[in-house]
Every structure is written in structure tokens, then in C-alpha cells.
Chain A
Amino acid sequence: MKTTLARRGAIDRLGALLTLGGVAALLFLPFVVFKANRILPGDARSLWQILPSWAVLAFYTIMVLVAATALGVGSARIRLAVSMIGVAALALTIGAAGDALTPLGNMVVRVSPGTGFWVLLVCLGLMSTDAITRLRPGPGIRVLFLALFAAVAGAAFASGMLDHLSVMREYEVNASRFALEARHHVLMALGSVAAAIIVAVPAGILCHRVPRLRAGTLGTLNLIQTIPSIALFGILMVPLGALAAAAPFVTEMGIRGIGAAPAVLALFLYSLLPVVANTIVGLARVSPSTVDAARGMGLTNWQILTDIELVLAFPVILTGIRIVLVQNIGLVTVAALIGAGGFGVFVFQGINQTAIDLVLLGALPTVALAFSCALLLDALVEAINRPAR
């Protein structure tokens, strides 16, 4: 473990930057925005107007403590612990502000976190990820961190302490819809990636074996990658619509010009390039002498492919899969535009109604999902890479 005690008297540069941002956020930016209803413009409130002074003092004390740690403490463990305390204090404070500003039984007022809150959250997030990076935790520990964080966040939501915040208000109204769209979102992202793996890995193997196919295949897939997602959805609506009109049984299978079919198909097409390319690169990295020895000892072609080449190429292929999974989780959001569902439904409804809280209801879980998947697959890639090589 690398010891990270700062030199005596030295000021941590990142810490200085983050402190500057945090102080500016607390002094000049609104912490909470209050709206009489969800579409009226809000007005900013400072914490002193909302909370009892002991609570505000406690919050400021903790923030000063965090700043002092960011500036002067070298130990990554302490920095991580203190930044997490900061996040908890931030969550408790915004929750309390929501409670205080909402008259009992009033379902109309909206209390949103202001820009000050978000800037503080980003600063604390950067401080903690920087600390985690310095600790260089193994893949298992990182997954554990994620699970722990998810559990604490889940408990916070379940406890109701955040229920008076506007995003949670939007969630309450849309609860059943939210579960449905979450399922759509995950299914479309995972389904398109799974289909892409089934097609792209064999295609990559073929390109590896027959070099003549390589340039053409990669060129075509590259071209698809350059089409903007919304245009590709549109392009696919035409043939799928025609297909559905011509063949009723296709419609019965749920395939129509709009909806999930063109969305999943487009995501599938986008996913091909990274997986095909990484399969080719992964197989090319396998040492020719290893393959020659395997063949010379009497492994069959199939055994060489499955027991040697694919196993050795797997970490690289998995890196490709990680890229497309994270990419698709984001892109599914746009698919809501052609009626495919997913978290994008809330985003576009929110934009239409100029209800920013509804946008957040779609955007925040998308970001959380993409981040979690990236972290899980990164950990998996690293865990596989560790023993051999």
C-alpha cells in the first residue's frame, strides 16, 4: 500500500481547487430552490432561512472539516472517510430542507436542490474518487464499495428522508411507470448487447481467420457508428414499418416501425464495431507459438479456439462488451423519442413540460446504472487479467 502522507506544510492541489469550488458554492450559489408549484420559476433560499441555526452550524462545521482534510491530510483512507461523511451531511441537510419547506400535507410545492448543492456534491464526489484511486483497491474491494454505497443510498431513499425533494415527488407520482420503464431500459440495453455478442464474436473470429474480410467488415461497422443515433432510429423505422405492414405475424411478435424493435436494432448495430474490433485485437494478441504448440500437440481446431484463443482473448473482448454496455445504457434514453420507452420517457416528458425535476428522474438513474455497469465490468476485466500473464 502506498503511504500518502503529504509533506508537512504542503497544500494538496486538488484539495485547494475543490475547497475553492465548495466555498464559492456555499457563498454565492443557492443551496435550495423553492417553487410554489412544479412549473413556476423557483426562488433561492439560503440554509439560514430554512433550518434551525444549530443544524446549519453543524453542517458548516462538517464542511470546514472536509475542506481542512482536503487541504492538509495526505492519508487516502482518511480523505475517503471524511468525504463520505461530507456526502452524508449533504444528503441529511437537503432532506431536512425539503421537510422544513414543505407545509404538512402539501403536495403542490416543489423543493429542489439548487446549483450550490450540486457543485458541493461534485466536489465531494471528486474528493472521494481521488481518494479511492490513490488507495488502488483490488476489483473485489471496488465492487464491495459499490454495493455498500448502493445499500446506503437505498436505505436513505427507503427511510423517506428525501421524500419531500422534487425528484422524489416526481417519482411518487410516476412510481409504477418508473418500475416499468426501468425494466424496459435495462432489457433494451442488455438485449441489444447480448444480441451483438452473439453476432460480433463469431464475426470477429471469422475476420481473424480470413484477413481479407477484415477491412470491409470494420469499414462497414465504422460507417454505421458515424450515423447519429436519432437518424439511425429514423432510418430503421422505414424498413421495419414496411415489414410489419407486409407480414402480420411480424407485427404479432411485437415488431413495428416504432417502439422497441428499431431501437434495439439500432443499438445492436452500434454495438457491433467495438465487440468485433476487440475480438480481432484479442485474438491477434495470442502468441503464434502458443497456437502452434497447441496444434502440434494434437488439439483440434475447435479446442484451439475455445480452450486457448478465446480464453486468452477474453479480457480484451470483455473490454469491448463493457464499452457497448455503457454506451447503450446511455443511448436507450434517446430511444424514448420513437416510443421505445426506458428512462428517456421521463427526460423527454420533462423537457416538454419544462419540469427539470422530471428530467432528473430519468437522467439520474441512467447515470447511476451506466456507472455501476462500468465499475462492475472493469472489476471483472481486472479480476480475469490478474492470475495469468
Chain B
Amino acid sequence: MIEIDALTKQYGSTTVVDRVSISIATGSITVIVGTSGSGKSTLLRMINRLVEPTSGRVVIDGSDTTTEPPHLLRRRIGYAIQGHGLFPHRSIAENIATVPRLLGWNAARIQARVDSLLNIFQLDPGEFGGKFPHQLSGGQQQRVGVARALAAEPTVLLMDEPFGALDPIIRAKAQDDLVDIQRRFGTTIVLVTHDIDEAFRLGDRVAVMSHGQVLQYDRPAVLLTRPADPFISRLTGTGDRAMKLLALTTAGEAAESGAAGGPTVAASATLRDVLSDLVWSGAPEATVVNADGTPRGRLTLAAILSHGKPS
């Protein structure tokens, strides 16, 4: 649990972050979204005290972040940024080992952790451990950046535009991987982005920031259906909001019991994808199957459409 309480940052007479209070549940992904200059990065950087707040406080799991020296606080909190920030003079394995080394882990434990992380991020330890960052592709560098942030098993991971430098295909893959990783470790993730689609795709809850203030902090579906401010409607766009809403529910969640014909869709597919399938194939309903191929239930066009309107 991260409690942010009336957090404010002023530079001279300019207020960059203005009395922001939000509380972030343990094990969730919270996305802070906003235009550039909205104060989103400053808010994130105040959590690990890369920026010292002018007033207000941050409490992580019951302890105020100002009770320990900032560099010790930061070693407990993962940090990944746009353009990865890998150390060019250190090998991939050394990069990932950075925080465990600072914490004084023994060599065997560090080695085991580095290998396991490289495997999780689909990088062969034997092949990649000894390489240097410039020898990797952009997507691989980004994965190493996230692996490095997770190396010391932090309970909280802060990410500042982590996928900003990736092309769309690699970016989608990286987003899926992040969700998998989050489920696997149960890490509390706070992620900053300017991309509302990324925010909806990743966020359990999304905080929309403008001019230093959080305008609304809620589940993506609520932001779409009940925007608290005209700015939020503009940000989400109203043209395809039904489709955006459909994209927030999976076939598994919406499936009704009973056998059906039509195309087969995975339970993890979004209703938007299922709708597209049905329109494409001309079928009135689809069969939802689990990851292991066993049938889960059925989805009719009418059922899908009912998910696309505000309740």
C-alpha cells in the first residue's frame, strides 16, 4: 500500500504537483497519465525521493519515506525509465546485479537471481549475460532495464515511460510481458505514460493528471463512462469509446455458460477482438475456450454489445 498524502512540489512560484492525494493498492498496476508538463513524472519521482516534496508525505506499507536515507529507500524500490538507462560500461549480468550488489548479496545468490531474471525475460543467460548493452536490440535493452529494476525483489516498481522508445509491435509485447511479470511477483507497479491506450491496457486504476492535479483516479471503465472532467473526455476521445470499453473486458469474464458454434476465441481475448472476429466471420456467436483448449462457454453478439454501453 502506497499512501500519497497532499503531496506538493513547487519550484519557486511554480507549482508542479499540487496537493495530490491518492492511495495505491498493494499488488496493483496504477498508471499516471497526462500531457507533458502535467507533473506526472515529478509525482512519480517524489515516491522514491529523486525529487524532494515541498510538502505532503508518502507512506509505503505504513512507514513514512522520509524516515530513512534516500539512497537506502531507493534500493528497496524498483526504478525503470525510458531509454532504459543501462550502464554502457557494464555487462548485462553486471547491470542486473547492480542493486543486489549494493545490498551485499553473496555472489551465488546474485548469479542465481540474474540467471532467473534473464530466463523470465526470454534472454538466454549464457548468450546475453556477458554482452554489453550496445550489442542488444532496443527491445532487449528495455527488458534488461526492467529486469535490473526487479533484481532485488522490490515490492514496489516505479516506471517512467518505460516503453516510450519502442516501436508499436515490440511495445505491445513488452506491455503483455509486464502484466505477466506483475502477476508472477505480485509487485505494486506505478507507471507514468502520456499514452492513454497504454494506460487503459495496463492500469488496474488510472490517475489522470493536468496542471499538477489529479483530475480523476479510478478504474479505466469509470474514466470512460463517467469522466469527471471535460479534459478526460478529450484525452480518452469519444469517437471510439464503446470500442475502448469493450477492450477492457475479456471473453473469459463475459462468457455465458452453454455450448455454441461459431469461431473459437481465447478466454484472454478482449471483447473488442471477439467482436471483430464475429463481424469478420459473419457468425452470430463464438465459443470461448480456456488456455488449455477446454470450452469455457459462449458469447453472443448481443451479449458483447451490452458490454459496450455505459451501465
Contacts and interface: CB of A to CB of B under 8 A. Distances in A.
B134 A293 contact: no
Contacts of A312: 88-89
B214 interface: no
B74 A298 contact: yes
What interface size band does chain B fall in?
20 to 34
A300 B71 contact: yes
A292 interface: yes
Interface string B63-82: 00000000111111001011
Contacts of A308: 87
A296 B74 contact: yes
Interface residues of A, number: 19
A226 interface: no
B82 A297 contact: no
B164 to A, nearest CB: 11
**Which residue among B50, B73, B85 has the maximum number of chain A CB atoms within 10 Å of its CB?**
B85
Nearest to A295: B50
Contacts of B84: 289, 293
A299 B71 contact: yes
B249 interface: no
B99 interface: yes
A289 B82 contact: yes
A289 B83 contact: yes
A193 B211 CA distance: 53
Contacts of A215: none
A388 B89 contact: yes
Contacts of B89: 311-312, 387-389
Given A296-B48, A297-B98, A287 B74 contact: no
A366 to B, nearest CB: 36
Given A298-B99, A312-B89, A293 B81 contact: yes
A289 B81 contact: yes
Interface in B75-125: 75-76, 79, 81-90, 98-99, 102
A290 interface: yes
Given A290-B87, A312-B89, A388-B89, A298 B72 contact: yes
A293 B79 contact: yes
B128 interface: no
A388 B88 CA distance: 6
Contacts of A296: 48, 50, 74, 79, 81, 85, 158
A85 interface: no
A388 to B, nearest CB: 4
Contacts of B134: 388-389
Contacts of A290: 85-88
Contacts of B132: 387-389
Interface in B167-185: none
Contact of A289 (B50, B72, B85): B85
Given A295-B50, A297-B74, A298-B74, A287 B102 contact: no
Interface in A349-389: 387-389
A288 B173 CA distance: 27
A249 B147 CA distance: 62
A297 B50 contact: no
A289 B71 CA distance: 17
A295 B98 CA distance: 12
A287 B71 contact: no
A244 interface: no
Contacts of B148: 297
Contacts of B88: 287, 290, 312, 388-389
30 contacts: A289-B81, A289-B82, A290-B86, A293-B79, A293-B81, A293-B85, A293-B86, A293-B145, A294-B87, A295-B74, A296-B74, A296-B79, A297-B75, A297-B79, A297-B99, A298-B72, A298-B74, A298-B99, A298-B102, A299-B98, A300-B71, A308-B87, A311-B89, A387-B132, A388-B88, A388-B90, A388-B134, A389-B88, A389-B132, A389-B134
Given A297-B98, A388-B88, 6 more contacts: A290-B88, A293-B145, A296-B48, A297-B148, A298-B72, A298-B75
Closest 3 CB pairs of A and B: A293-B85, A296-B79, A298-B75
